[in-house]
Structure 1
Amino acid sequence: MSPFLFGCQFMLVNLLNYSISITSQIKRVVSMSGQLFFSIITPVYNGEKFLNENAQSWLKQTYPNFEVIYVDDGSSDNSRNLIEEIVKCDQRFKLVCQDHVGIAQAIKRGIQEAGSNYIVFMDQDDIAMPWRLEKTAEAFANGAELIMGDYEIIDEFGKPTGRIVSFPSFITSENLLLEQFKRTYFLGSAMAFKYKGDFEFHVDSGGATDYDISLKMLLRDYQFVYIPDILIRYRVHNRNTSANYSKQKQDVKTIFSQYEHQELFQHLLQKGFNPFEVSLSLGICYLFQNNLDVASPYLQKAMLLIDQSDRRTYQECMFYNSVLYFLLDAYDKSFELLHDLVKKGYNNPSIFNNIGVMLVYFDQIAKAKDWFNQARDLNKQYSDVAHNLKLLNDNHVDYRDYKFTTRLLREVLTHIQIK
């Protein structure tokens, strides 16, 4: 007997009749009260281990007007059969099958099959909180077109890790577009949006499809609303698409191949952002893609326009210019910028780690270890500094093997890095 059928037998004594009765009422509810109807899109690839919990979380919703579209992307495990059994339990669940062509194509197919333009995303291994759709409906009713909420991190076995990820306090609807060029603040599983059909999905965006979608919506002035509540439990494990950072960087590079950076610069200026903000954001964006020819002039321009009174953007500008110099093998200049940040009281662990790496390059091993230890004290889950301390303790002499962090560390780390 499959895990889900066992779950069905456990629940359906009281739940199946309830689910069917709710389903039969959906059309009447929509026509009589005008309540929104949601299409939930979930790409599936070899996800049989998690599908039972995923489906059960939708059955527990306090808001009944939805369909769940599972797009099986050519799974080789029992996922397809399990979804077929889920569909038999509740007709709000649907199965769409395709050959294995990737997550972006699966999302696109799901939206094509959707019965609503109010779209909710969730990955196969994540769990919706019971109030997710109800709170999402409230936000849409108040004018939202693009929605993001908080999420709780669980491990592979569903155990809470004690970590909750929220939008940073400095992010507002006014600056979100610019900040989105520096790094994405959208997790696909916690997203919802009203799709107007005014852009195309990039079919090769892979694990960064949520970035592609959110950036296009923000560029088109979709009304963003943040829900300060936990909407999902987000499962972190080595098989997360977004855990593979090297692949994710390539996906982001693919996304930005759609844009001319000069046109982006002018477009952002026309939206009212100042030249420093735009230069810094685009510089960081293209630096992350390792496109130094584009990143360098933007970061250098930002240095000329820098506002020292804004500590957050000052730290970003100095740090990412130090990364640029490091990648250009200008180690003295990179170290100088990092040291300036320390003198001004900045204590991000990425800064301390990178000073340590520079000291290794300068053959000042004892000092390097002290800086690595300070970085570890600030963030004990910091993988780069753990790697560097191990090399030092093993008396490893090849400085090229030490990890120079190219991004300011976020307060909450959500992924295990895959080499």
Structure 2
Amino acid sequence: MKLVSVVIPCYNYGWLLPETLDSLLAQTYPHWECLIVDDGSTDTSKAVAEEYQQRDARFCYVYQANAGMSAARNHGLRLACGEYLQFLDADDLLAPRKLETQVAFLEAHPTVDLVYGDMRYFQHGSPQVLSRSGDMLDQRWMAEVHGQGEAMVNVLVEKSIMVVNAPLLRATLAKRVGPFSEDLRSVEDWEFWIRCALAGARFHYDNTPDAWAIVRVHPTSTSQNLLRMHTSEVAMRRRLATTLAAAGAQVASRINAAAINDNQFYVAMYNMKNGSILTGIKGYVRLAYTTKRYGYYLKSIPYWLKHRLFGAAAQPQ
């Protein structure tokens, strides 16, 4: 049986880590190793991980000084021995047959580099209620796509298509693509999938509930910080613009440029409403200069100043 390396970065999630590790113990596919990379936690993470390590030799606890989730994942990748890789955050879960189902798929389809399935969210404390969207309104957002090359690049540049624990991928793909970008503190997994597509990886969506990724929604989860995600997406996309231009990916470049403007607009509006007014003004000026839509964006500045200073209730047109 082929070994699956499960990489779990953990920072102060000792209170949730047992459920995550229990979901691995419940896997019907037994041939796995789990690398728990403690990213400088100050809570009970070390004690919890070491307890599981003593219970089952497939768990391996390692510690690093705090350097971020990407650095922790990269640390785990350097130690991984498996032919397949499964990424799993310390607050999330896997359906019991996920590894079995996706290993079997990759074994039967040697030209596929990465297989991913559907996912479900649950609110912390209510694991019996599942939803396809984090707002618990059960709205599908994940794309069901197959393929490789330009078409796959375009899809991934337009939007993220999966959560980090949805896919199982070949370790050879990760070695070909390189490590996670450690300067990104959010959307780093999305950027990694884009680089996989640019490297020619073949993606496949396999629609079976047996392979669900299960994602916990709670106040401290990274996905709840929308400003951080939008800011990180702008940084990621600015870097991506150079890569896409060098690759001659004209369609993807246009998609990326439009998305940069959309995210900059959100960040500027957020700062005008809740953050640094000066940063918000700079954001709108940058958008006006970049898009040449001076009237549209510059008129937003006095509107939001009025809204911020005097509590105006109207929304921008």
Who is 1:204 aligned against?
183
Structure 1 residues 325, 150: closer, same or farther in 2, change over 3 A?
farther
Cα distance in structure 2, aligned partners of 1:171 and 1:326: 39
2:171 matched to which residue of 1?
195
- Asked if the contact 1:149–1:190 (Cα under 8 Å) also holds between the matched residues in 2, the reply is yes
Pair 1:170–1:85, CA change in 2 (3 A): closer
Contact 1:58 1:128 in 2 (8 A): yes
- CA distance in 1 between counterparts of 2:289 and 2:158 reads 16
CA distance in 1 between counterparts of 2:113 and 2:153 reads 14
**Counterparts of 1:140 and 1:295, CA distance in 2:** 44
Structure 2 gaps of 5+ residues are 134-139, 265-282
User: In structure 1, the residue corresponding to 2:261 is in which secondary structure?
Assistant: helix
**C-alpha RMSD of matched pairs (Å):** 3.3
TM-score, length-normalised on structure 1? 0.59
Structure 1 position 328 matched with structure 2 position 286: no
Match of 2:39 among 44, 48, 73: 73
1:248 aligns to what? 229
In the other structure, the counterpart of 1:54 is: 20
Residue 325 (structure 1) shift: 7.6
Residues 155 and 236 in structure 1, CA contact (< 8 A), matched pair in contact too: yes
The 3 A distance-change label for structure 1 pair 328 and 397 is closer
**CA offsets 1:68-95 (integer angstroms, 9 cap, x no match):** 1111111111110011001111100110
- CA separation in 2, counterparts of 1:232 and 1:206? 22
Answer yes or no: is 1:88 the counterpart of 2:54: yes
Paired with 1:208 and 1:96, the residues of 2 have a C-alpha distance of 24
1:15-53 CA distances to partner (integer Å, 9 max, x unpaired)?
A: xxxxxxxxxxxxxxxxxxxx2211000111111221221
Cα deviations by residue, 1:222-256 (Å, 9 ceiling, x for unpaired): 11011213422210112111221221223223334
Contact in 1 for aligned 2:20/2:92 (Cα 8 Å): yes
1:224 maps to amino acid = F
Identify the range of structure 1 (229-238 vs 172-181) with the bigger mean alpha-carbon deviation. Answer: 172-181
Whichever residue aligns with residue 29 of structure 2, its letter is: Y
For residue 79 of structure 2, what is the aligned residue in structure 1? 113
Residue 397 of structure 1, aligned match among 304, 312, 315: 312
Deviation of 1:104 after TM superposition, in Å, equals: 0.8
Instruction: Tell me the CA shift for residue 294 of structure 1.
Output: 9.9
Residue in 2 that maps onto 1:283: 257
Identify the structure with the greater helix proportion.
1
Identity of aligned residues (%): 21
- Maintained 8 Å contact 1:150/1:167: no
Q: Unpaired runs of 5+ in structure 1?
A: 1-34, 270-274, 301-323, 332-359, 362-387, 389-394, 405-419
Residue from 267, 279, 282 that aligns with 2:247: 267
Q: Where does residue 216 of structure 1 map in the other structure? A: 195
Change in Cα spacing, 1:152 to 1:403, as seen in structure 2 (3 Å) is: farther
Q: 2:9 touches 2:36 (CA, 8 Å); kept in 1?
A: yes
Is the CA contact (8 Å cut-off) linking 2:5 and 2:80 kept in structure 1? yes
Question: Per-residue displacement from partner, 1:290-313 (whole Å, max 9, x unpaired)?
Answer: 28999899989xxxxxxxxxxxxx
The 5-angstrom pairing of residues 371-382 of structure 1 reads none
CA deviation after TM superposition for structure 1 residue 154, in Å: 0.4
Q: Which residue of 2 aligns with 1:149?
A: 117
Mapping of residues 321-360 of structure 1, within 5 Å: 328-329=297-298
Aligned to 2:269: none
Q: Cα deviations across residues 79-138 of structure 1 (Å, max 9, x unaligned)? A: 100110011111001101111111111011011111124210111111211111011102
What is the TM-score with the length of structure 2 in the denominator? 0.76
Note closer, same or farther for the CA distance 1:48–1:289 as it changes in structure 2 (3 Å cut). Answer: same
Deviation (angstroms), 1:268: 4.7
SS in 2 for 1:233: strand
Q: CA deviation at 1:330?
A: 6.5
- Map of 1:133 onto structure 2: 99
For the 8 Å contact 1:54–1:125, the answer to whether it is kept is yes
Once the two structures are superposed, residues 316-369 of structure 1 have per-residue CA deviations (whole angstroms, 9 ceiling, x without a partner) of xxxxxxxx78862478xxxxxxxxxxxxxxxxxxxxxxxxxxxx99xxxxxxxx
Between structure 1 and structure 2, the one with the greater Rg is 1
For these two proteins, the number of residue pairs brought into alignment is: 279
Determine the C-alpha separation between the residues in 1 that align with 2:6 and 2:225: 25
**Do the aligned partners of 2:40 and 2:63 also contact (CA within 8 Å) in 1?**
yes
Aligned amino acid, residue 76 of structure 1 = T
Tell me: CA distance 1:187–1:294, structure 2 relative to 1, closer, same or farther (3 Å): farther
Structure 2 CA distance for aligned equivalents of residues 292 and 220 of structure 1:
35
2-side partners of 1:240 and 1:228: how far apart?
Answer: 26
